[in-house]
Amino acid sequence: MRHRSGYQFTALVGAAYGLLVAAGNSVGSAGRAAFQVLVFPYRDSGADGLEYALFRRAEGEYWQGVAGGGEGAETPLDAARREAAEEAGIPRDADFAALDSVATIPVVNVTGDFRWGPDVLVIPEYTFGVRCDDPNLTLSGEHTGYRWFGFGDAMTALRWDSNRNALWELNHRLLHSVPRPG
């Protein structure tokens, strides 16, 4: 099975981040930034093919990728690297790949309030894949467990359509060596 270890994505993530700022979303030097990230760790397990790590949320008891929000002036890629390190022990210098899948999430579902003002109703969720050579991950207190899933089982286990969409994209790109445009 062939798959690419990464994609050219820095320019696209930077452009998307610029659009976020241009749209008036707060990305100041301190506090919570007005975007989310979703990261799917993956590995090639040999005979079993590609597997994806999903995490069981302590609050809500559902499966998802690594998820969290940007902080201060972080770019989405910086936030993805930090969240993956904090929630799963994945090294910050691991091979991350930005995906085209972007969802929007009601701000009150993420923060519980309108912290960026009454006009910011939804925030973007940027998605990434990260190659993991070590199948052993380290959990944070946000999760009760993790498991490596084959693609079909992962799609069934995921709760959110946006998560399934991003995982589908990642799986297709890896299986078919589809580079990102740009």
Task: Give residue 25's identity as a one-letter amino acid code.
Answer: N
The mean pLDDT of the chain is 85
Average pLDDT estimate for 19-44 = 72
Could you tell me the pTM of the whole model?
0.82
Among 146, 134, 139, 32, smallest CA distance to 87 is for 139
**Angle, vertex CA 163, rays to CA 158 and CA 94, nearest 5:** 105
Q: How confident is the model at residue 66 (pLDDT cuts 50, 70, 90)?
A: very high
3-state secondary structure string across 147-170: EEECHHHHHHHECCHHHHHHHHHH
Residue range 156-177: average pLDDT? 95
**Which of 38-47, 77-86, 104-113, 138-147 is most confident?**
77-86
Q: What letter would DSSP give residue 7? A: -
Helices (H), the chain: 10-22, 76-88, 107-111, 151-157, 161-176
